[in-house]
A and B are shown apart, each in its own frame.
Chain A
Amino acid sequence: EVQLVESGGGLVQPGRSLRLSCAASGFTFDDYGMHWVRQAPGKGLEWVSGISWNSGTTGYADSVKGRFTISRDNAKNSLYLQMNSLRAEDTALYYCAKGVTLAVAGTGFDYWGQGTLVTVSS
């Protein structure tokens, strides 16, 4: 059974940093691209970032480019999101999602975690 478990969310002040983690199991982790998708309270879905199976390709939404960094450790079946210079508008539930393919672009997201809540507020 595919499982994605996010952690690392919490309350953080504007301008500070936070690192999210996603522990994956139930599938061959290094065969697939992985993504972060967020959902602000009461709002729709927003893709944040994606990484290819071997970390060779990464992509970021314009809203987070230059502030967030995605990475993965295939030996640990884990995905990460380093979030710096956080803003109030980054407040959201952050989902880890598995890509249907090994690439970053052009894929659907076939498994999702339950999300970890990030609240940016002073």
Chain B
Amino acid sequence: QSVLTQPPSASGTPGQRVTISCSGSSSNIGSNTVNWYQQLPGAAPKLLIYSNNQRPSGVPDRFSGSKSGTSASLAISGLHSEDEAVYYCAGWDDSGAVFGGGTKLTVL
């Protein structure tokens, strides 16, 4: 049982906009920033968004993050087939870093 709650799956067609939600509590998302990771099949995770809405260099601006209260979301616009991956939200609470269970994004 993950501390942060994500839907297990999401899907979209090429060019579409999809959003992935992440729900937490006042002790994690409510009081700390949220990061998002993309894990392609067979690969190590990659930082996609940090500090709620900041993109590391090299991450396309099709990816955006937002946070409100104890929830956060990742939006992917102009969906590409290579966006098919598992996406994890992450934050911090008093016990350390916490992750969501991951959302498998399928590009139809």
B68 at the interface (CB under 8 A from A): no
Partner pick for B44 among A47, A60, A62, A112, CB 8 A cutoff:
A112
Q: Which residues of B contact A110 (CB under 8 A)?
A: 47, 50, 56
CB neighbours of B32 from chain A (8 A): 106
Q: Do A109 and B99 touch (CB < 8 A)?
A: no
Question: Would A62 and B95 count as touching, CB distance under 8 A?
Answer: yes
CA–CA, A50 and B99, complex, Å: 15
Give the dominant DSSP class at A's interface: strand
Residue pairs across A and B with Cβ atoms less than 8 A apart, 25 shown, are: A37-B45, A44-B101, A47-B96, A50-B96, A50-B97, A60-B96, A61-B96, A95-B44, A95-B45, A100-B47, A105-B92, A105-B96, A106-B32, A107-B50, A108-B35, A108-B47, A108-B50, A108-B51, A108-B90, A109-B35, A109-B45, A110-B56, A112-B45, A113-B44, A115-B44
B contact residues vs A (CB 8 Å cutoff):
2, 32-33, 35, 37, 39, 44-47, 50-51, 56, 88, 90, 92, 95-102
